[in-house]
Amino acid sequence: MCPSMTLVSTLGNPRWSADAYLAESFASKVSYAVSGAIEKQINGLILAKDLWQLDGHLRKFLEAVYTDAEQRATSGEKPTPASEDNLRSALKALRRACESIGETYKRAKAAGLTNRRLAGTALNSVRVRSGEILDIVESVELSLNHSEAVDAIFDKALRDLEHGNIVDFAQLK
């Protein structure tokens, strides 16, 4: 019998046919898994790109706030007052953005994304910048919502400072 006939008769054997189908099944399964892994890598890169864009936007926003405040402080220029409604609306939007970033960070950390090389670095940077923005929002909200009680606390602190009644933080331990 010629070698090709031997091969044909061997491959035609039911046991070998079952093995061939099993090999095809495994190859298909591995191909699907590789496709999924590639898609996951691509999604990870897209996520990292989006996070770096958000980080850049937050960085520019903070730079603009600090630059504007510094220029006004050095020039003595009086700011044009914004309407309280516009200011409160902007503060609310910033607070929601910071809360969303905080929730996203928690979910990403639970999924192990904060340990990834590209996405993790961006996530951490976005979280830090978000915290900085939230501090600014809370400071402005406090100045808008001042009450007599808050004014009394600051007035008392100012009087104590003027009279030399200061406390060293090391003594508070």
Please report, as a single letter, which amino acid is at residue 82. Answer: A
At residue 17, the pLDDT reads 64
Within-domain flag for 32: yes
Residue range of the domain that includes 98: 11-144
Within-domain flag for 56: yes
Give the predicted TM-score (pTM) of the model: 0.68
Spans in the chain with pLDDT lower than 50:
1-2, 4-8
Within-domain flag for 51: yes
Q: Phi and psi (nearest 5°) for 116?
A: -80, 150
Quick one: which of 127, 93, 94 has its CA closest to 108? 127
Handedness of CA 139, 144, 148, 152 (dihedral sign): positive
Please report, as a single letter, which amino acid is at residue 12. Answer: G
At residue 16, the pLDDT reads 64
At residue 97, the pLDDT reads 94
At residue 173, the pLDDT reads 57
Domain count, the chain: 1
pLDDT tens digits for range 20-62: 677 777 788 888 788 888 888 888 889 999 999 999 999 999 9
At residue 5, the pLDDT reads 47
At residue 94, the pLDDT reads 94
Residue with tokens 């809370």: 138
Distance in angstroms (rounded) separating the CA atoms of residues 3 and 14: 19
Within-domain flag for 139: yes
